[in-house]
Amino acid sequence: MSGGTSAVKPLRKYKLVFIGDQSVGKTSIISSFMYDTFDAHYASTIGIDFVSKSVPVDDGTVRLQLWDTAGQERFRSLIPSYIRDSHVAVVVFDITNRESFASTAKWIADVRAQRGNDVVIVLVGNKTDLAAQRQVTSAEIEACANEQDIMFIETSAKEGFNIKLLFRRLATALPSLENSAAATTEPQVINLTVQQPNSSGGNGASESQTCGC
Ligand code: GDP
């Protein structure tokens, strides 16, 4: 597929879809990454389908298209077409809302149904700033991610905690997805190191904890 002119590589574009229950912080995470602000007004007001941002990676730049459901998560019949041509599914839940964590299993199942293993999935536990109201421990999140063979990270869109790291790790993982997708159908497992905002990460559970999602 390489052309006559060397050196200049085509810009790789990837579609990232944000899914998860309502109010877990999907729009806020996008807003924090795009605009360095905790102000989720953009999508709901003008109904933008997606926003784009270029991210540097080791061997150049990738362009990420971030698709927000903008409330459509309430209409589950729309979700398959939304997920269909995605490269990355960012499955978000709210660590202060156990129900939203339980829902991630069906969101992940939706992604697998549409994309099989040709997709990077990351489980995002958002709202770490609300530590006192935490209902899902870090150990449970890790156990769930390991069981499902997916990446995981904890974030706070409000404080900007781990937001850049989330996208940097995803961007770095994508070219390898592209290379290996043709060669193998193995799931893409990338180990995201979760940085804890403080030691009240709420573990208290053993490593052998079963998946709670
Ligand atoms: P979405 O429906 O999943 O897109 O969720 P939104 O981004 O609209 O956020 C839902 C609510 O949670 C809003 O009131 C946000 O201000 C709030 N929120 C989102 N992320 C965070 C966070 O990291 N910490 C806190 N404390 N609130 C958040």
Q: What is the pLDDT of residue 2?
A: 46
pLDDT in tens, 96-151: 999 999 999 999 999 999 999 999 999 999 999 999 999 999 999 999 999 999 99
Q: What is the pLDDT of residue 179?
A: 56
Q: What is the pLDDT of residue 15?
A: 94
| Cβ–Cβ under 8 Å, residues 57 and 172 | yes
Distance 213 CA to ligand 1 centre (A): 20
Q: How far apart are CA 100 and CA 65, in angstroms?
A: 25
pLDDT below 70 — which residues of the chain?
Answer: 1-9, 39-48, 70-75, 175-213
Protein residue with least CA distance to atom 22, ligand 1: 127
Exposed e or buried b per residue across 95-120, where buried means at least 16 C-beta atoms within 10 angstroms of its C-beta: bbbbebbebbbebbebbbebbebebb
Q: What is the pLDDT of residue 212?
A: 60
| Helix or strand holding residue 58 (H, E) | none
pTM of the model: 0.81
Q: What is the pLDDT of residue 124?
A: 98
Q: What is the pLDDT of residue 70?
A: 63
CA distances from 49 to 16, 82, 116, 126, 171 (A): 12, 10, 24, 22, 20
Protein residue with least CA distance to atom 17, ligand 1: 25
Residues in contact with ligand 1 by the CB-under-6-Å rule are 22-28, 40, 126-127, 129-130, 156-158
Protein residue with least CA distance to atom 20, ligand 1: 25
| Cβ–Cβ under 8 Å, residues 91 and 111 | yes
Q: What is the pLDDT of residue 188?
A: 39
Q: How far apart are CA 125 and CA 156, in angstroms?
A: 8
